């Protein structure tokens, strides 16, 4: 009977250790996910800043269709002619 009790206690201790290791892994994973979420947010902000900076030099005229390979000077000259 004592041998069986020792076996059960040993198995219980082993299970407790496994649960402890798994709990630690989960906690470590949660910490990593939290850190990565913060990093993703910072990268999104940085990307947004870069995109805003790159659009800073763009000229957009509402009501004019966008065309591939358009010539800005030609389009503005054409617009100026129509406005006069």
Q: Is the pTM of this model over 0.85?
A: no
Top pLDDT among 24 and 82 is at: 24
* pLDDT higher than 80, residue 35: yes
pLDDT computed for residue 17 by the predictor: 96
pLDDT computed for residue 33 by the predictor: 98
* pLDDT higher than 90, residue 22: yes
Q: How far apart are CA 78 and CA 82, in angstroms?
A: 6
Task: For 55-82, give one letter per residue: b (16+ CB within 10 A) or e.
Answer: eeeeeeeeeeeeeeeeeeeeeeeeeeee
């Amino acid at each position: 009977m004592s041998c069986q009790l020792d076996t059960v206690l040993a198995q219980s201790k082993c299970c407790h250790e496994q649960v402890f290791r798994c709990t630690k892994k989960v906690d470590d994973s949660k910490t990593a996910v939290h850190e990565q979420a913060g990093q993703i947010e910072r990268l999104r902000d940085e990307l947004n800043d870069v995109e805003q900076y790159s659009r800073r030099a763009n000229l957009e005229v509402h009501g004019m269709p966008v065309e591939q390979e358009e010539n800005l000077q030609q389009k503005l000259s054409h617009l100026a002619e129509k406005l006069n």
